[in-house]
Structure 1
Amino acid sequence: MVVRYQAAMRGAVVAGCLVGAAAMNGAAAQTLTMASSAPITSVDPHYHTFTPNASLDAHLFDSLLDMDAQSRPVAALAESWKLVDERTWELKLRQGVKFHNGAAFTAEDVAYTLDRVPRVPNSPGSFAIYTKPIVGVEIVDPHTIRLRTAGIYPLVPIDLTQVAIIPHGLGKDPATEDFNSGKNAIGTGPFRFVSYKPGDRVEMDRFDGYWGKKPYWQHVSFRIIPNDGARTAALLSGDIGFIEAVPTTDAARLRTDKRVHLAETVSLRIIFLTLDQSRDGPTPFITGPNGEKLDRNPLKDHRVREALSIAINRPAIVERVMEGAAIPAGQFLPPGSYSYAPDLPPPAYDAARAKKLLAEAGFPNGFRITLHGPNDRYVNDAKIIQSIGQMWTRIGVQTSVEGITWSNYIARANKQEFSAYLLGWGSSSGEASNPLRSLVATFDAAKGRGAVNRGRYSNPQLDALIDKAVTTADDAAREKVLQQATKLAMDDVAFIPLHNQKNIWGMRSDLTYIARADEQSRAQDVRPVQ
């Protein structure tokens, strides 16, 4: 995200200079202009599991539990939580909390929210995965609620970090459109909604009735600036104070520029390729080596998927394309994360074996494929798919590359229109059950499983391991099952992992920010250096 701050008197800001100390310490209102590096898809916090949306939501709404910078759960609207028995979680809710409209927060709002989440129409990435395990809700008193699960389910606190609470006074089935207009955009967060212009910005004012630590900024303009060069130029010109997704081409010189400093950490975001496994017959963007129609989908063959994976030189992409702002990946999470499998390294580059596997699969002369990807969403996304296209072509898979603007791209990806395409996923829970349930579990809308499994990969053995993991109460035992499930998914090439991004924020030298593993940029955490 990008941040610009200024004193109320605009003349106090000059290009390339910091806001004057008098304005910083004065009583005049402070404005923070923030710009996401990718457009949000809705102000509705239950519409789409999408990181830019989550960053915005964190300003307007609260969840029962939040995640700290290292993606560990901490108290939020719930002050405490405990298991009453193996199927019942009891949460004590924070008292004295108000919604932006003045209504008091109570257990009734929690019950209302949990009921609404799985029923949001036309969601391109449902939050139902986080609420489906809860089969019963009991309001004990206005500030105590019990949540019942069908069996042992230790992930309830983790899942609740992803569910923003809204007031029950919004009525039955509040419409997503009414969140976007501001009518329903009512939370308990540190900022309150002012206006939303799709594709451009969201305006917010500080909520002085906020229950937690008050933000420094009285007004926030959440801007959308997808262009990397524009973000860096705005920072260096003095028009912007804080930017997310510092372009890798600019990071080295910004590290030596005394006007700015960087905050960096390895991200929980995995960049990967999704492969169409929904079709047994022809897949839309693959033909034979001479352009002839095929009667089967090559991507359904494990040998083809493995060939495409090991034809990718991950270290080369990290070094040359990402300029060191990533680490090669062979699984969902980076080293050091809970449920990271230490015996699962990134697939080694082996073009000769890739050619052999293609021949064994019946494609000795390869085939033609179009690799799709966004050109304005992930760090260096267009360059990444270009590099992979060249690598695939070297093993006989003649690859055309097509980069598409994100808004059009994701709409088509959600309809399973592509054969092979680049995506990213931030594991917001900080452990592997989140990507396992979302990315590779068999798609099942009723269960909230596979919500963003766009390739429609399906493996009953993997589904069984996921079910076992999320019902294993002991943390150490659950980690082993999650590692086992991760290894199965990667060995079967459920998708092709590429790298974990590094999160890099750039800011003026008088601003401070703690780098977050979950990639979120929050105005309430941007503060002047004391």
Structure 2
Amino acid sequence: MFIRMKLALAAVALSAAPLWAQQDSITLGMVLEPPNLDPTAGAAAAIREVTYANIYEGLTRFGPDGSVLPALAREWEISEDGLTYTFHLQEGVTFHDGTEFSAEDVRFTLDRARAEDSTNAQKQLFAAIAEVTVIDPATVEVRLSEPDGAFLFNMAWGDAVILSPDSADTNATNPVGTGPFRFVRWMQGDRIELERYDGYWGEPPALARATFRFIADPTAAFAAVMAGDVDAFPNFPAPETLAQFEADPRFSVIVGSTEGETILSMNHAHPQLSDARVREAIAHAINREDIINGAMFGYGTPIGTHFAPHNPDYLDLTDLSPHDPDRARALLAEAGAEGMTLRLMLPPPTYARRGGEIIAAQLAEVGIQTQITNMEWAQWLEQVFSGHDFDLTVISHTEPMDINIYARPEYYFGYDNPEMQRIMADLRATTDPAGRSALLQEAQRVIAEDHVNGFLFQLAKTGVANAAIEGLWENAPVPANDLTGVRWTQ
């Protein structure tokens, strides 16, 4: 027996296409340049900020409120035992190179993502898939090895977008998807340009052209928005200037929440950081409020675990790691770790560079010296994320509901706890909402009590835009600059 899930196709289009506005192009500012343009082969959030819902689409997708909506799958059925998903696909869909989309592309993509040699940064999203079967060109069946209560959620991630076997190998530099915008060109170090894909299967977007400009320097970002060189900067890097924009009727300031847990990551392969007493000492050395005020000018919510405060299952565990320098010094003495020097690697975002300087000063107060290295994004991904060559780093994890990274010993900070792995295995097999809630709260408490990382704050989404633009996401349930509903109002 099958449980039929009917979801209206209309939900895919977040807004109906209006009459073409007087202005049908937009230039958006971004702090970081993507290292490549294939979200199935790279972890950088900047890849998805350009490509998600614009160039590529998955079977499902996230809406601006974080809900899971139909995309290339118009509807689906789930077997009563929760092991079989039958997806009914949109018809008349083509990739930007003109090739037809079909169930074969879904099978290719999912098999590629879960393969032993997969380079997908979120390979665990596909771990429960046992077999993908093409029923007909518009129907594909996915059989799981065990029930996965988050499977439809997982299929909405940018890492699960559907690719064509004809273009998969070159998507890093010449992305080809099924989305409403097609790739035009990439002027490295400067911009990426997209244009409306006239063969798009769904509701056409109001915008005909979109340019993403890369401006890492906060002062330059402020100047670019003020001069009108950039129409919108959805993740604005200079929060100290937002009051100036709020006072100017030419602009709108858009403040929302993100899935970005900003943490001081600790490498558990380091002999001293593998000691929970040292990690707890670092947690007590940190003053979250000073970091939020000093680096983010008050924008951000303190967190005591790796979970978004806006989620109904969130536990406020900040009381497990209050700012307590005396306690930090005592723990370091107990662990024999006095006079320690640690390498602190900082990627380019403002929260990391500014926050890292503040953290270094706070650690110095309890006797921990740091050697700061400012890194470009590609270098950070290669050395820290992939190479695990670091002691400390400051990074915002912007993937949705990603507490499962603490059950992956091979993940870059190297936390290996069988209890956490058991909790995440139970969570995958649980579909009951109350049961999932209890497991998520248990997981939060385990990593907070173990002081796995220094949990700092939930990253706020602070954006600035021309006041005549509407449809930009206020919140960021996933790293994305979704342009499907963006338009000029005058």
Partner of 2:221: 231
Deviation at 1:100, TM superposition (A): 1.5
Distance 1:238 1:196 in 2: 21
Alpha carbons of structure 1 residues 412 and 385: separation in structure 2 relative to 1, 3 Å: same
SS of the equivalent of 1:299 reads coil
User: When the two structures are aligned, how many residues end up with a matched partner?
Assistant: 464
Partner of 1:422: 394
Q: Deviations over 1:187-215 (max 9, x none)?
A: 11011112223333222210122122322
Shifted more, 316-325 versus 466-475: the winner is: 316-325
| Contact 2:57–2:72 (CA under 8 A) maintained in structure 1 | yes
Partner of 1:354: 328
Partner of 2:188: 198
**One of 248, 265, 268 as aligned partner of 2:259:** 268
Deviation at 1:121, TM superposition (A): 6.5
**One of 95, 99, 102 as aligned partner of 2:91:** 95
Deviation at 1:349, TM superposition (A): 0.7
| Contact 1:191–1:205 (CA under 8 A) maintained in structure 2 | yes
The structure showing larger relative contact order (alpha-carbon pairs under 8 Å, at least 6 residues apart) is 2
Partner of 1:515: 474
Is 1:209 aligned to 2:199, yes or no?
A: yes
| Aligned-pair identity (%) | 25
Residue identity opposite 2:220 in structure 1: A
Partner of 1:497: 455
Deviation at 1:261, TM superposition (A): 0.8
Residue identity opposite 1:470 in structure 2: R
Partner of 1:10: none
Is 1:528 aligned to 2:483, yes or no?
A: no
Q: Deviations over 1:452-472 (max 9, x none)?
A: x21211111111111011111
Deviation at 1:336, TM superposition (A): 3.0
Q: How does 1:102-251 map onto structure 2 within 5 Å?
A: 102-119=98-115, 123=119, 126-162=121-157, 163-170=160-167, 174-175=168-169, 178-182=170-174, 185-246=175-236, 247-251=238-242
Partner of 2:44: 50
SS of the equivalent of 1:46 reads helix
| Contact 1:329–1:346 (CA under 8 A) maintained in structure 2 | no
Deviation at 1:95, TM superposition (A): 1.9
Deviation at 1:490, TM superposition (A): 1.7
Structure 2, gaps ≥5 residues long: 1-18
Is 1:37 aligned to 2:27, yes or no?
A: no
CA RMSD of aligned residues (A): 2.1
Residue identity opposite 1:179 in structure 2: N
| Contact 1:47–1:127 (CA under 8 A) maintained in structure 2 | no
Is 1:372 aligned to 2:331, yes or no?
A: no
Residue identity opposite 1:167 in structure 2: S
Q: How does 1:411-450 map onto structure 2 within 5 Å?
A: 411-413=382-384, 414-428=386-400, 431=401, 435-438=402-405, 440-443=406-409, 450=410
Q: TM-score, normalised by structure 2?
A: 0.89
Deviation at 1:102, TM superposition (A): 2.5
Alpha carbons of structure 1 residues 108 and 338: separation in structure 2 relative to 1, 3 Å: farther
SS of the equivalent of 1:70 reads coil
Partner of 1:482: 440
Is 1:310 aligned to 2:281, yes or no?
A: no
Distance 2:280 2:250 in 1: 47
**One of 383, 394, 399 as aligned partner of 2:370:** 399
| Contact 2:399–2:479 (CA under 8 A) maintained in structure 1 | no
Residue identity opposite 1:442 in structure 2: R
| Contact 1:340–1:483 (CA under 8 A) maintained in structure 2 | yes
| Contact 1:366–1:395 (CA under 8 A) maintained in structure 2 | no
| Contact 2:36–2:173 (CA under 8 A) maintained in structure 1 | no
Q: Deviations over 1:157-214 (max 9, x none)?
A: 01100211112444xxx42xx22342xx221101111222333322221012212232
Distance 1:318 1:344 in 2: 14
SS of the equivalent of 1:408 reads helix
| Contact 1:503–1:519 (CA under 8 A) maintained in structure 2 | no
Q: TM-score, normalised by structure 1?
A: 0.83
Distance 1:261 1:63 in 2: 31
Residue identity opposite 2:297 in structure 1: E
Partner of 2:3: none
| Contact 2:302–2:318 (CA under 8 A) maintained in structure 1 | no
Q: Deviations over 1:419-440 (max 9, x none)?
A: 1111221132xx3xxx2223x2
Is 1:78 aligned to 2:73, yes or no?
A: yes
Distance 2:366 2:481 in 1: 41
| Contact 1:63–1:164 (CA under 8 A) maintained in structure 2 | yes
Alpha carbons of structure 1 residues 344 and 313: separation in structure 2 relative to 1, 3 Å: closer
Alpha carbons of structure 1 residues 200 and 238: separation in structure 2 relative to 1, 3 Å: closer
SS of the equivalent of 2:27 reads strand
Residue identity opposite 2:156 in structure 1: T
Structure 1, gaps ≥5 residues long: 1-22, 284-296, 444-449
Partner of 2:268: 277
Deviation at 1:406, TM superposition (A): 2.0
SS of the equivalent of 1:60 reads coil
